[in-house]
Structure 1
């Protein structure tokens, strides 16, 4: 088939990666002709570029990541216009797709999907990751019932309507979409868990890595990824305060995001010597650091009313370390981690004492931690690789 992927964040193939590059590489490896439309991260890298057998159309857009809510909103509104113009200019008649795949965010690309579907009669497969605009309401970025909310809510409903199949992260996701969108054709909805390529790690070097990063004699809790409003790492700093006099517990945070400077300043103000904050690292370097940690941290704002399933869990599973989840009570992620996969523990994100109890439990039970790490790894390799996701998508198209 000819597969067209409408992307928001799509690192250059061979120079980085995320779940979407992994998936498109799998489609390529399975013999499909893959086209991608994505924002350009550099001024001099626009236009149609062959990236290891995937034709990527890099489009000049306004900044979409690590910017304020207003700039991000304007950039998302303009995105479909930029994409349509670039597709007309560069693809011309070269591509009439059989399958259009698009993720959320953003939902504004629904207009591009409608336009392409009319031209090609292609099927549209929606990878539902963010449920927008409700997540923006939860985080106080948008008023429920206001003009912007009603505008984006209309686009969300239209996106569900034009999609032939919708892959949801969890059963909680499916139930939420059905509850608040009763008009949806239920047969469109099915389970599509997060996925990631397996990265080979040399676990024999773990002691050397711990020495290299100063992890010796410490219980290291690592967090990697976006540092933004959804993660609300202020909650984690409240937990770190409880360990201020205990130099055996270290919180190691790696990433970028709109809230990073704020978190760094708060950590300094609280004089938290047990918190280290680093910039983003190349994927394999980051995975090596994770393998040297004792557990992987998931942090979600307690304000969420929608069920989120963070994809960063898979990096922790890959490294065979247990997951510590500080999450809202509306997600089914805690059930997934603690009861279904048996790969970690969870506590409400706004209750630091309960999170501390979970950390103390993990610290005191290295054998249980090891078993959780193995359970997570087995789930990962058996159910959450790009090949598994590819097969699930193909079952519905």
Structure 2
């Protein structure tokens, strides 16, 4: 199939979404499909830029800036983004390409107009990959009320849903949210698990042997540190475990809360905590090879279901998890059923402390746990399965682009 993949994140960005889309596009190519990733770029001097990345065609289109700016300017930029991209696309060598399928990745919720235009021009199906349900999660978090801004974002999101023929959500618990959407003719709703490609151990620029955590059992958090994660409880846990000289905490990444968390740890004099800046995704296996437990945190105010990309990276590396997440999240049942760690849903540091000690004290004894983690990754989160599922939904079984 010849596929257009619309997104607003891709390498050289290092976000979990960028890594996911890199792995997905590579796998499309491996399975002999032709894929073009279509991205906005505020840095281009020309209307468009076309490059080849390991067989993946990457088309960057000049569009307003949407990253690292205030919320008002970001909203305006994202609203204008698909229209700017469509205008620049018409100037590019791919203006007249006919696609066999269009897929797009949310976030952002603003890709609907571009996806609609490509679908109509090619008379093909569209697959919307939803990794978070915005603006609902922002309301849950108390970041937004149900006033005018909410109604605006909700209308944009509904339009995006209306463009899709197939929607893939990341957890069964999110299916109910789209009950009304499924009543439209020809619509299909399904669970599309998060995915990640297998990765070799390629070394890591972070060496724990050169830190105060040398020789300790290390609980690691690698990824975004923002308001949606609710990571304060992890520092509370580190404070409770400060007396255990055999235990340490490593936080690697960036985000809106990263500097605040590091300053908080310093203010508490937590000598069992180390912060490091974001590293290249290819270094993650080398980082985890030095660690013992992976940390997952989601703010308890969330009401939607989320299986974070970092959970997949832990499973891929055979790291059991210690998770503090919102009550009822599908991830809790998965962790318990698959016996790949401990999970707290009550937001209590006392519960998390008990579970952390159980996990740490048994981390060397339960040698099969690492195998269970890896088996779960291969069974549910392989990128091969994700590509096959998307191609099937778009009606392309057995059809390649070669």
TM-score by length of 1: 0.90
- Equivalent residue, structure 2, for 1:288: 286
Superposed CA offset, 1:317-365 (max 9, x none): 12111011111114111111221x2211101373111111111001111
- Equivalent residue, structure 2, for 1:307: 305
Superposed CA offset, 1:30-69 (max 9, x none): 2222111113385579612222222211234444344443
- Equivalent residue, structure 2, for 1:70: 72
- Equivalent residue, structure 2, for 1:358: 355
- Equivalent residue, structure 2, for 1:176: 177
- Equivalent residue, structure 2, for 1:90: 92
Contact 2:61 2:89 in 1 (8 A): no
Contact 1:320 1:370 in 2 (8 A): no
**Structure 2 Cα separation of the partners of residues 127 and 290 of structure 1:** 28
Superposed CA offset, 1:70-92 (max 9, x none): 34323322221221122112145
- Equivalent residue, structure 2, for 1:2: 2
- Equivalent residue, structure 1, for 2:190: 190
Superposed CA offset, 1:215-268 (max 9, x none): 443121101111111112112112112123333221101111122121122222
**Structure 1 Cα separation of the partners of residues 143 and 13 of structure 2:** 33
How far the C-alpha of 1:209 sits from its partner, in A, is: 6.2
Q: Alpha carbons of 1:302 and 1:121: their partners in 2 closer, same or farther (altered >3 Å)?
A: same
Q: Alpha carbons of 1:12 and 1:211: their partners in 2 closer, same or farther (altered >3 Å)?
A: closer
- Equivalent residue, structure 2, for 1:27: 28
Contact 1:9 1:38 in 2 (8 A): yes
**Structure 2 Cα separation of the partners of residues 230 and 191 of structure 1:** 22
Contact 1:301 1:349 in 2 (8 A): no
**Structure 1 Cα separation of the partners of residues 348 and 24 of structure 2:** 37
Is 1:55 matched up with 2:57? Answer: yes
Contact 2:20 2:195 in 1 (8 A): yes
Q: Which runs of 5+ in 2 are unaligned?
A: 395-402
- Equivalent residue, structure 2, for 1:160: 161
Is 1:126 matched up with 2:124? Answer: no
Q: Alpha carbons of 1:348 and 1:95: their partners in 2 closer, same or farther (altered >3 Å)?
A: same
- Equivalent residue, structure 1, for 2:392: 395
CA RMSD of aligned residues (A): 2.6
Q: Alpha carbons of 1:3 and 1:186: their partners in 2 closer, same or farther (altered >3 Å)?
A: closer
**Counterpart of 1:157 in 2: which secondary structure?**
helix
- Equivalent residue, structure 2, for 1:250: 248
Superposed CA offset, 1:112-144 (max 9, x none): 111222211121001111101101212222212
**Structure 2 Cα separation of the partners of residues 190 and 325 of structure 1:** 26
**Structure 1 Cα separation of the partners of residues 323 and 303 of structure 2:** 17
**Counterpart of 1:143 in 2: which secondary structure?**
coil
How far the C-alpha of 1:201 sits from its partner, in A, is: 3.1
**Structure 2 Cα separation of the partners of residues 274 and 163 of structure 1:** 48
**Structure 1 Cα separation of the partners of residues 167 and 158 of structure 2:** 12
- Equivalent residue, structure 1, for 2:104: 102
**Structure 2 Cα separation of the partners of residues 304 and 351 of structure 1:** 16
After the TM superposition, which of the residue ranges 360-369 and 117-126 deviates more from structure 2? Answer: 360-369
- Equivalent residue, structure 2, for 1:375: 372
Q: Alpha carbons of 1:369 and 1:19: their partners in 2 closer, same or farther (altered >3 Å)?
A: farther
Q: Alpha carbons of 1:188 and 1:198: their partners in 2 closer, same or farther (altered >3 Å)?
A: same
**Counterpart of 2:91 in 1: which secondary structure?**
helix
Superposed CA offset, 1:356-389 (max 9, x none): 1111001111256532221110121233221111
Contact 1:299 1:349 in 2 (8 A): no
Contact 2:315 2:377 in 1 (8 A): yes
After the TM superposition, which of the residue ranges 264-273 and 322-331 deviates more from structure 2? Answer: 264-273
How many residues are treated as equivalent by the alignment?
390
**Structure 2 Cα separation of the partners of residues 238 and 211 of structure 1:** 25
Contact 2:323 2:342 in 1 (8 A): yes
Q: Alpha carbons of 1:58 and 1:362: their partners in 2 closer, same or farther (altered >3 Å)?
A: same
How far the C-alpha of 1:182 sits from its partner, in A, is: 7.0
After the TM superposition, which of the residue ranges 60-69 and 234-243 deviates more from structure 2? Answer: 60-69
Q: Alpha carbons of 1:324 and 1:72: their partners in 2 closer, same or farther (altered >3 Å)?
A: farther
